[in-house]
């Protein structure tokens, strides 16, 4: 059986003019390693301030766990979970912290 040959495409991209595309890989950081990255607290504070300003999170609506367990009516439950990552881990020039 003869090996198949691949048909060459009529379109060949000009790779000399093409700028590199980055994948936007995030390196997720464990809480115990946050302090190893300068600016970690500022990144978290910036994200928190953004979600409070746009109304995603409202401290006035937060109730204690004990109060929640005492309630008899159905209640929507949410939890603010802090995640910190290094954005654009694949490229040192583009790296920054993202919360």
pLDDT tens track for 46-82? 999 999 999 988 888 888 888 888 888 877 777 778 8
- pTM of the complete model beyond 0.75: no
Q: Give 32 or 72, the one with higher predicted confidence.
A: 32
Residue 1 has pLDDT above 70, yes or no: no
* Residue-level pLDDT at 77: 74
pLDDT of residue 99: 92
84 contacts: CB under 8 Å, gap ≥ 6: 28, 29, 31, 34, 37, 40, 43, 44, 97, 98, 99
Task: Round to whole Å and give the CA distance between 50 and 52.
Answer: 5
Domain map (residue ranges) of the chain = 27-98
Residue pLDDT, tens place only, 20-30: 676 778 899 99
């Amino acid at each position: 059986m003869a090996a198949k040959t691949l048909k060459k495409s009529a379109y060949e991209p000009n790779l000399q003019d093409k700028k590199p595309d980055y994948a936007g890989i995030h390196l997720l950081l464990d809480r115990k390693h946050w302090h190893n990255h300068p600016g970690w607290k500022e990144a978290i504070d910036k994200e928190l301030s953004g979600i409070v300003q746009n109304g995603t999170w409202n401290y006035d609506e937060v109730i204690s766990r004990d109060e929640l367990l005492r309630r008899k009516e159905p209640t929507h439950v949410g939890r603010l979970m802090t995640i910190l990552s290094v954005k654009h881990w694949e490229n040192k020039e583009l790296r920054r912290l993202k919360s």
